[in-house]
């Protein structure tokens, strides 16, 4: 299992958390997504290597931006 942590800007409510969780959960190989609204941290767990570009694209698709 692999884990990656992203800091996401723009989330401000439960709907934001749900949107990010739903989009990132759809990325192939992702087994768990934990979003901490207060810190903006999104912790992603996957079966193998995590496809960073796909996770970032999913967060973007949800309408939010990963802090560089």
Compute the half-sphere exposure of residue 3: CA atoms within 13 Å on the CB side of its CA: 7
Q: Which domain holds residue 6?
A: 2-66
pLDDT tens for each residue of 1-41 = 999 999 999 999 999 999 999 999 999 999 999 999 999 99
Q: How many domains does the chain have?
A: 1
5-39 burial code (b ≥16 CB/10 A, e <16):
ebebeebeeeebbebbbebbeebeebeebebeeee
pLDDT for res 6: 98
Q: What strands lie across the sheet with 2-9, from one edge to the other?
A: 30-36, 41-46, 2-9, 65-66
- State the pLDDT confidence band at 62, using cuts at 50, 70 and 90: very high
CATH number of the CATH domain containing 48: 3.30.70.100
Model's pTM, two decimal places? 0.94
Asked if the model's pLDDT at residue 68 lies above 90, the reply is no
pLDDT for res 51: 96
């Amino acid at each position: 299992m692999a884990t990656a942590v992203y800091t996401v800007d723009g989330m401000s409510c439960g709907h934001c958390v749900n949107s990010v969780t739903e989009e990132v959960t759809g990325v192939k190989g992702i087994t768990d997504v934990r979003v901490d609204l207060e810190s903006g941290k999104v912790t992603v767990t996957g079966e193998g290597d995590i496809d960073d570009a796909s996770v970032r694209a999913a967060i973007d698709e949800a309408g939010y931006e990963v802090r560089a």
